[in-house]
Amino acid sequence: SQQGEEDPQALSIQEGENATMNCSYKTSINNLQWYRQNSGRGLVHLILIRSNEREKHSGRLRVTLDTSKKSSSLLITASRAADTASYFCATDRTGGGNKLTFGTGTQLKVEL
Amino acid sequence: DAGVIQSPRHEVTEMGQEVTLRCKPISGHDYLFWYRQTMMRGLELLIYFNNNVPIDDSGMPEDRFSAKMPNASFSTLKIQPSEPRDSAVYFCASSLQSGAKKYEQYFGPGTRLTVT
């Protein structure tokens, strides 16, 4: 079964608004990543946050991690129509090699 | 680099036929992963290799599924015989074993398999 659960499952916003997606996981992790998947395409890595980090920024992306609550959030600021995609969190564990466990994903639609 | 290459992009086959999906990872990557994505089950890891050696195949659904990696630049996922419930998008991904980007996976475009 999927370790990560994203919330909400679907999100529709207007261009220029901020989009926030949440991810919860079940076991201790080394790192948590966020990936984007455009319709009909493979997943693309966006950002990685380590278990000892609480917040990380990359361009319009802001990721937070709360290991005590086993949760993470992805904030996309000033959204654009091109941000329309599905977003997945993925975690890896100590001793798990490079194996990732993906969440169920949030479908984001940014309307003009 | 061309990225991860998968072929074919689309495959339509009849139940009972053998299906072979192919993947060329990014040159220099040490890990190769096969995933299956469906609306019902999401993204599932089927099997992964490290330096051409299968490490974890616990996600392979049945004996009908097999995967090989004869060398560092090629892997196959075979389904024999195929069944309608195997219909899905199959992704191949690769990653490095060390360095700052060791946990980032690079995905291919996927193979959309339809079994009728």
Which of these ranges, A31-35, A43-47, A95-99, B2-6, has the smallest mean pLDDT? A95-99
Does the beta-carbon distance from B109 to A44 stay under 8 Å?
Answer: no
Percent of chain B past pLDDT 90, that is, above it, reads 89
Mean pLDDT of B61-78: 96
Above 80 in pLDDT, residue A7? yes
Above 90 in pLDDT, residue A3? no
DSSP letter, residue B21: E
Asked if residues A24 and A7 have their Cβ atoms less than 8 Å apart, the reply is yes
Does the beta-carbon distance from A43 to B48 stay under 8 Å?
Answer: no
Above 60 in pLDDT, residue A44? yes
pLDDT digits (tens, 9 = 90+) for A29-43: 999 999 999 999 999
State how far the alpha carbon of B50 is from the alpha carbons of A89, B28, B72, in Å.
23, 12, 9
pLDDT digits (tens, 9 = 90+) for B72-96: 999 999 999 999 999 999 999 999 9
| Count of pairs with CB atoms under 8 A, one residue in A, one in B | 60
- CB-based contact, B103 to chain A, within 8 Å: yes
Does the beta-carbon distance from B45 to A43 stay under 8 Å?
Answer: no
- CB-based contact, A42 to chain B, within 8 Å: yes
Does the beta-carbon distance from B103 to A43 stay under 8 Å?
Answer: no
Which token pair is A54?
């609480």
pLDDT digits (tens, 9 = 90+) for B21-47: 999 999 999 999 999 999 999 999 999
Above 60 in pLDDT, residue A1? no
Distance CA A98, CA A72 (A): 20
